[in-house]
A and B are shown apart, each in its own frame.
Chain A
Amino acid sequence: MNGEPLIILLVEDNPDHAELIVRSFEEHRVANKIIHVSDGEAALDYLFQRGVYADEQSSPRPHVILLDLRLPKIDGLEVLKEIKASKDLRRIPVVALTTSESERDMMGAYNRHVNSYLVKPVDFGKFGKLMDDLGFYWLAWNRKPLCEPSEGGPQDSPEEA
């Protein structure tokens, strides 16, 4: 972990689930900052720094995005597609975090270049462990290019299978 604050964008419509996720991260001191938006439109607005998120200082680029697939207004898969279509955003790892175990959702997500697909465990212990591992993996182990804005090429967005 370096000194830079680690930012997670949490896109989750269920406030209870959002609370659970935030608590888990806080307990394990995973991230310095968690930004929570509750629908797809808000997520895109944040990422593209539109509307209320226009200020770059208060709305910094996240290091990882946790994306629920079933969202009001704009669907999670749609959000994923827009992220991966954007030259600026596509290097940000997107982790689908959903209750859905449906094959269709999984296929849809991977077809839109999701970086990881996680199903929320019902069990409390497992839920906590997953959040812990998730944070540690993406924010500690996972390496990403340093010089962010210059690399516009299509070549790399470090990913894991």
Chain B
Amino acid sequence: MKDEAGTVQHTSQDSQVRMRQPLLNLRSKMALSFGVLCAVILILVSGLRTFGLPWTSDQGSHGEAQDLVLRQLSLLADLSKERLRLWLGERESDVTALAQNKIVVSSAKRLSEITQRDADEGLTRARLRADLMEQDSGKALMEALRAVRKTHKAYWKIQVADARQGVVIASTDTRELGTPLPCRQLLAGTLDHAGKVSVIVAKSPVNGKPFAALSSAILDRSSLQDVEPTTVIGVVVVYAWVDRLIRALYYGGESIGKTEDIVLVNRDLRILTTLKYPLPNGSPAVPLEYRIEAEPARLAAQGKEGLMVSRDYRGVPVLAAYRYIEIAPSYGWGLVVKVDRNEMFAPTWRRLFQSSLISLLGVLAAAFMAALIAGRIARPIRDLSLVAQQVEAGNLDARAPVVRLDEVGNLALTFNSMIQRIGNWHRELEEQVKSRTLRLTELNEELTEKVVERKRLIRELESKNAELERFTYTVSHDLKSPLITIKGFLGYLERDTASGNLERVKADSARIQGAVEKMGLLLDELLELSRIGRVMNSPREVSLTKIVEDAVETLAGRISDRGVALVIADELPVLYGDAARLREVVENLLDNAVKFMGNQSQPRVEIGVRRSADGTVVYVKDNGTGIDARYHAKVFGLFERLEQSTEGTGIGLAVVKRIVEVHGGRIWVESQGVGHGSVFCFTLPEKNKNT
């Protein structure tokens, strides 16, 4: 029982769960998780839209854009290639037409002969020039060349050179007449492939600008029918600036992007055209000197064609289309049309960024909505939690508010009924604990009473034991004494009678007689003493006045004999106890007072009552012999007599003491000493407290 009560107490105190503040409240959690969920979905969707579904043909907008750009590049590359070929074709036909022109052929033939002659004669270049200038045919040819250059803005110079000497025999620039043809390999190539056009790109020694030179052989047609093989008279070379060529490459319409660039390289990967962007080191690339290492250019120069995503000469990622342009058999140029990937994908990224921005707004909206909904859901739960905290703190009267009749409302209702039940249990338990505690207290009090009672009994037993010991001692001593007397004097008696000495027989017999009587008296009184406490009349209310009157009556003779003046108080209390025994007490004390008057001339005994801390004290006061302080305790001892002379066995006060103590009272003597009289006092407990 105690355990049960104890446990309940314990639980309600120790299980004080401290409410831990969560890192995020429900609302934030909801908002966060919704936000994260939406963000993930949106990122996934836009990612899929942009980059396509993995392991499927869906490439997403990014892939599509790339495809589109590559297609456009491819188209552009084809176009450029076509335009370049067209341009080259035009130049070829121009130069071929020139080479086959009758005037050119005849003039060249004539001029070639002059040149041959001058060379044979060892004439100087100036002489040769003058000779050539002089010739009508020369003039005509130069006129024709000038006309051609005028009509075809593409050329900055047209030359005709002698095939054998390699010397310019006609030119749009007359200063060059007689000078060797600058590009010897051109001459050689043209001569090797007579009837075909040779193309080379070189740098102008004058301004360093690259130019393209196209040459065609001038054949002597007049002897075509009979002379085999045909003789090559000379070559026609037309010079065009490369930037002209570039212009030709560009399609006049819109470009794909700002970063779009067309790069033309020769077999050695040296660039033929200028580049749009400077090199990584900051300097512009010099045509015919800078060698491009980029993959598309390399592939194109190797004669391959295709599309690719790669890096260009700057190291910038690009989308590129590369083409091979065959100029002569086993000789061609690489064409690369490229555009920066970043520029191409910029719209895609922009779209992605925009859609991300919109998504973010959506996410925020979703989170906000989630927080709103969570708040609506959480508020009743929080209220419930607060109530639960109150209940936990011990307020079992707290009730959760039921706002809505939804799940939370039901929870609140259930919770309320649960608290109600817990409250009931709690009250029941408390009542049980209370009643059991009360019972325990009662039992404890009972036990304490019992213990106290037991202690009292033990004390009583101890005092009884001590008393018994004293009693035995006294008996052994005081009863032996008369025996010794009897035996001793009987011995003398025997001896005296035997010897006939009868002198002291009578006295000795008297001594024996006295001892025997004394013994009898002792035995009687011992018996009497042993009866006190064992044999008692049932206690009742007794008037002390009555008792005193009785005692005085009994001792009337002795009192009057000694002429003792007796003073008895008017108002004596009513005592409670054994009437006969109490009378014995008063009688004994009165008798003693009268007996030990000594030689007092005006003997006086006073019986009265006084109040003290102990309660009512009854006293018997005399003006007799008095008692020395040393003997105040001893007078109450068994068989104790202060004076040998007076009669009695010394049992009287012992009896009185015993009676008073049996009644639960106390007795003592007050005396200033011998000659000052004595006061015997005793207390008796009030009615209800007695034994």
Contact residues of A with B, CB < 8 Å? 13-17, 19-20, 23, 38-39, 70, 72-75, 98-102, 104-105, 120-125, 127-128
From the candidates A19, A38, A124, name the one contacting B644 in the complex (CB within 8 A). A38
Do B511 and A16 have beta carbons less than 8 Å apart? yes
Task: Please indicate the chain A residues that have their CB under 8 angstroms from the CB of B490 in the complex.
Answer: 124
User: In the bound complex, how far is the Cα of B483 from the Cα of A118, in angstroms?
Assistant: 17
| 26 A-B contact pairs sorted by A residue (CB < 8 Å) | A13-B644, A14-B485, A16-B484, A16-B488, A16-B511, A17-B484, A20-B485, A20-B489, A23-B492, A38-B644, A39-B644, A70-B478, A74-B630, A75-B634, A98-B477, A99-B478, A100-B477, A104-B473, A120-B484, A122-B480, A122-B487, A124-B488, A124-B491, A125-B491, A127-B487, A128-B491
Task: Please indicate the chain B residues that have their CB under 8 angstroms from the CB of A17 in the complex.
Answer: 481, 484-485, 488
Within 8 A of A (CB), among B452-501: 473, 476-478, 480-481, 483-485, 487-492
Closest Cβ of chain B: how far from A11's Cβ, in Å?
12
User: In the bound complex, how far is the Cα of B484 from the Cα of A44, in angstroms?
Assistant: 26
Do B480 and A99 have beta carbons less than 8 Å apart? yes
Task: Please indicate the chain B residues that have their CB under 8 angstroms from the CB of A98 in the complex.
Answer: 477
Task: Please indicate the chain A residues that have their CB under 8 angstroms from the CB of B640 in the complex.
Answer: 72
Told that A73-B631, A75-B634, A99-B476 touch, could you supply 15 new A-B pairs with CB distance under 8 A? A16-B484, A16-B488, A16-B515, A19-B511, A70-B477, A74-B630, A99-B480, A99-B484, A100-B476, A122-B484, A124-B487, A124-B488, A124-B491, A124-B492, A127-B487
Closest Cβ of chain B: how far from A158's Cβ, in Å?
30
Task: Please indicate the chain A residues that have their CB under 8 angstroms from the CB of B478 in the complex.
Answer: 70, 99
Of chain B, the residue at the smallest CB distance from A13 is: B644
From the candidates B488, B491, B641, name the one contacting A72 in the complex (CB within 8 A). B641
Do B642 and A73 have beta carbons less than 8 Å apart? yes
User: In the bound complex, how far is the Cα of B484 from the Cα of A70, in angstroms?
Assistant: 15
From the candidates A16, A120, A121, name the one contacting B489 in the complex (CB within 8 A). A16
Choose among A73, A100, A125, A127 the residue with the greatest number of B CB atoms under 10 Å from its CB: A73
Do A72 and B644 have beta carbons less than 8 Å apart? yes
Do A100 and B484 have beta carbons less than 8 Å apart? no
Task: Please indicate the chain B residues that have their CB under 8 angstroms from the CB of A23 in the complex.
Answer: 492
Of chain B, the residue at the smallest CB distance from A121 is: B484
**B643 part of interface (Cβ distance < 8 Å):** yes
Closest Cβ of chain B: how far from A126's Cβ, in Å?
10
User: In the bound complex, how far is the Cα of B489 from the Cα of A101, in angstroms?
Assistant: 22
Of chain A, the residue at the smallest CB distance from B495 is: A124
Say yes or no: A16-B485 contact (C-beta < 8 A), given A100-B473, A100-B476, A102-B473: yes
Closest Cβ of chain B: how far from A28's Cβ, in Å?
14
Closest Cβ of chain B: how far from A77's Cβ, in Å?
12
**B514 part of interface (Cβ distance < 8 Å):** yes
Task: Please indicate the chain B residues that have their CB under 8 angstroms from the CB of A102 in the complex.
Answer: 473, 476-477
From the candidates B476, B481, B630, B631, name the one contacting A14 in the complex (CB within 8 A). B481
User: In the bound complex, how far is the Cα of B480 from the Cα of A75, in angstroms?
Assistant: 18
Say yes or no: A72-B484 contact (C-beta < 8 A), given A20-B489, A99-B477, A100-B473: no
User: In the bound complex, how far is the Cα of B511 from the Cα of A70, in angstroms?
Assistant: 20
Closest Cβ of chain B: how far from A63's Cβ, in Å?
24
User: In the bound complex, how far is the Cα of B495 from the Cα of A125, in angstroms?
Assistant: 11
Task: Please indicate the chain B residues that have their CB under 8 angstroms from the CB of A125 in the complex.
Answer: 491
Closest Cβ of chain A: how far from B515's Cβ, in Å?
6
User: In the bound complex, how far is the Cα of B489 from the Cα of A19, in angstroms?
Assistant: 9
User: In the bound complex, how far is the Cα of B490 from the Cα of A125, in angstroms?
Assistant: 11
Task: Please indicate the chain B residues that have their CB under 8 angstroms from the CB of A123 in the complex.
Answer: 487
Closest Cβ of chain A: how far from B588's Cβ, in Å?
19
Closest Cβ of chain B: how far from A118's Cβ, in Å?
13
Do A99 and B473 have beta carbons less than 8 Å apart? no
Task: Please indicate the chain A residues that have their CB under 8 angstroms from the CB of B641 in the complex.
Answer: 72
User: In the bound complex, how far is the Cα of B477 from the Cα of A20, in angstroms?
Assistant: 17
Of chain B, the residue at the smallest CB distance from A69 is: B477
Closest Cβ of chain A: how far from B451's Cβ, in Å?
32
Within 8 A of A (CB), among B21-80: none
Closest 7 interchain pairs by CB? Answer: A124-B491, A16-B485, A99-B480, A20-B488, A100-B477, A99-B477, A124-B487
Task: Please indicate the chain B residues that have their CB under 8 angstroms from the CB of A120 in the complex.
Answer: 480, 484
Choose among A20, A39, A105, A124 the residue with the greatest number of B CB atoms under 10 Å from its CB: A124
Of chain A, the residue at the smallest CB distance from B650 is: A72
Closest Cβ of chain A: how far from B63's Cβ, in Å?
126
User: In the bound complex, how far is the Cα of B485 from the Cα of A161, in angstroms?
Assistant: 29
Do B484 and A127 have beta carbons less than 8 Å apart? yes
Choose among B476, B487, B631 the residue with the greatest number of A CB atoms under 10 Å from its CB: B487
Within 8 A of A (CB), among B637-676: 640-644
Task: Please indicate the chain B residues that have their CB under 8 angstroms from the CB of A121 in the complex.
Answer: 484
Task: Please indicate the chain B residues that have their CB under 8 angstroms from the CB of A74 in the complex.
Answer: 630
Of chain A, the residue at the smallest CB distance from B492 is: A23
Of chain B, the residue at the smallest CB distance from A127 is: B488
Task: Please indicate the chain B residues that have their CB under 8 angstroms from the CB of A122 in the complex.
Answer: 480, 483-484, 487
Closest Cβ of chain B: how far from A105's Cβ, in Å?
8
User: In the bound complex, how far is the Cα of B642 from the Cα of A15, in angstroms?
Assistant: 15
User: In the bound complex, how far is the Cα of B634 from the Cα of A125, in angstroms?
Assistant: 35
User: In the bound complex, how far is the Cα of B648 from the Cα of A72, in angstroms?
Assistant: 13
Task: Please indicate the chain A residues that have their CB under 8 angstroms from the CB of B473 in the complex.
Answer: 100, 102, 104-105
User: In the bound complex, how far is the Cα of B511 from the Cα of A19, in angstroms?
Assistant: 10
User: In the bound complex, how far is the Cα of B478 from the Cα of A127, in angstroms?
Assistant: 17
Of chain A, the residue at the smallest CB distance from B631 is: A73
User: In the bound complex, how far is the Cα of B163 from the Cα of A10, in angstroms?
Assistant: 193
From the candidates B514, B628, B634, name the one contacting A16 in the complex (CB within 8 A). B514
Task: Please indicate the chain B residues that have their CB under 8 angstroms from the CB of A16 in the complex.
Answer: 484-485, 488-489, 511, 514-515
Choose among B477, B489, B640, B643 the residue with the greatest number of A CB atoms under 10 Å from its CB: B477
Of chain B, the residue at the smallest CB distance from A123 is: B487
Task: Please indicate the chain A residues that have their CB under 8 angstroms from the CB of B644 in the complex.
Answer: 13, 15, 38-39, 72
User: In the bound complex, how far is the Cα of B515 from the Cα of A70, in angstroms?
Assistant: 17
User: In the bound complex, how far is the Cα of B359 from the Cα of A54, in angstroms?
Assistant: 137
Of chain A, the residue at the smallest CB distance from B641 is: A72
Task: Please indicate the chain B residues that have their CB under 8 angstroms from the CB of A105 in the complex.
Answer: 473
User: In the bound complex, how far is the Cα of B476 from the Cα of A122, in angstroms?
Assistant: 12
Choose among A99, A102, A104, A125 the residue with the greatest number of B CB atoms under 10 Å from its CB: A99
Of chain B, the residue at the smallest CB distance from A24 is: B488
Do A101 and B476 have beta carbons less than 8 Å apart? yes
User: In the bound complex, how far is the Cα of B505 from the Cα of A151, in angstroms?
Assistant: 49
Closest Cβ of chain A: how far from B636's Cβ, in Å?
14
Do A99 and B481 have beta carbons less than 8 Å apart? yes
Task: Please indicate the chain B residues that have their CB under 8 angstroms from the CB of A72 in the complex.
Answer: 640-644
Task: Please indicate the chain B residues that have their CB under 8 angstroms from the CB of A128 in the complex.
Answer: 491
Of chain A, the residue at the smallest CB distance from B494 is: A124
Closest Cβ of chain A: how far from B599's Cβ, in Å?
17
User: In the bound complex, how far is the Cα of B490 from the Cα of A73, in angstroms?
Assistant: 30
Closest Cβ of chain B: how far from A151's Cβ, in Å?
32
Choose among B476, B480, B481 the residue with the greatest number of A CB atoms under 10 Å from its CB: B481
User: In the bound complex, how far is the Cα of B489 from the Cα of A15, in angstroms?
Assistant: 12
User: In the bound complex, how far is the Cα of B481 from the Cα of A104, in angstroms?
Assistant: 18
Closest Cβ of chain A: how far from B519's Cβ, in Å?
12
User: In the bound complex, how far is the Cα of B511 from the Cα of A69, in angstroms?
Assistant: 22
Of chain A, the residue at the smallest CB distance from B512 is: A16
User: In the bound complex, how far is the Cα of B477 from the Cα of A14, in angstroms?
Assistant: 12
User: In the bound complex, how far is the Cα of B483 from the Cα of A123, in angstroms?
Assistant: 9
User: In the bound complex, how far is the Cα of B483 from the Cα of A23, in angstroms?
Assistant: 17
Task: Please indicate the chain A residues that have their CB under 8 angstroms from the CB of B643 in the complex.
Answer: 72
Task: Please indicate the chain B residues that have their CB under 8 angstroms from the CB of A100 in the complex.
Answer: 473, 476-477
Of chain A, the residue at the smallest CB distance from B640 is: A72
User: In the bound complex, how far is the Cα of B481 from the Cα of A100, in angstroms?
Assistant: 9
The proximity string for B residues 611-632 relative to A, scoring 1 for CB distances below 8 Å and 0 otherwise, is 0000000000000000010110
From the candidates A20, A38, A73, name the one contacting B484 in the complex (CB within 8 A). A20
